[in-house]
Amino acid sequence: MPTALITGATAGIGAAYTRRLAGDGFSLVLVARDHDRLAADAETLHRRYGVAVEALPADLSTEAGLAAVEDRLGAGVDLLVNNAGFGQPGEFLKVPVEAELTMLKVHCEAVLRLTYAALPAMTAKGRGGIVNVASVAAFFSRGTYSASKAWVVNFSGAVAAEVAGSGVRVMALCPGLVRTEFHQRAGMDVSGIPGFLWLSADDVVGASMRDLALGKVVSVPSLRYKAIVGIGRLLPRNQVARISGRVNRRFR
């Protein structure tokens, strides 16, 4: 039975991955900060799907948390989903630099280190997959968040190229707006965003699994966001930055 490790596993896209992968017959290793919620979710998934579920409480913004997950990955998994992440509610200069550094540790350092920890066992077996959850924001401009997600896309592409032919696939998932706890936790007012722009977490995960099976390096779920990203890539970067800035101020 294959094993998948998912970070940020108790909510949103991470929780959707746990349901999908348990339904596909994967044993699960769930990583999140909330010990009680993690334990409850592990028990629920085990009862519902009959698969083995391991709860691994870890805060990926800390050295101890990262080291614990690295150790578990060293034992080998078949699929790693680097999903843990968060947003900031304010403009760059209004967010404490400590909070921005924490974001970089979770979005960039954790993705790098956990990918590095998972790959040796995967390449030795000649199979495996890594999904690094980025965002459509990676192709636009929204302070440190979009910059960190752009790093995830670039990093994933570089690693995918290095392991090509090994049987291991690495992909960046770039969803648009998804109905999760993400925006509420970040204190963002999204009440003015049109309904047609919202995606479901289950649909995003389904699209990502199809794209991973097809060997795609970047997955952008839904035609509407593929179009948005395509248009963004055609526009001059300074114009994209101005548009992004206006949108960010409107929906902050």
Which among 17, 49, 116, 145 is annotated as catalytic?
145
Q: Contact at 8 Å (CB) between 128 and 168?
A: yes
Residue 87, SS3 per DSSP: coil
**CA atoms of 238 and 252, how far apart (whole Å):** 21
**CA atoms of 174 and 138, how far apart (whole Å):** 8
Residue 72, SS3 per DSSP: helix
Is 145 assigned a catalytic role? Answer: yes
**CA atoms of 237 and 176, how far apart (whole Å):** 19
Residue 80 corresponds to which tokens in the numbers above?
A: 């790693």
Tell me which residues are annotated as active site. Answer: 145
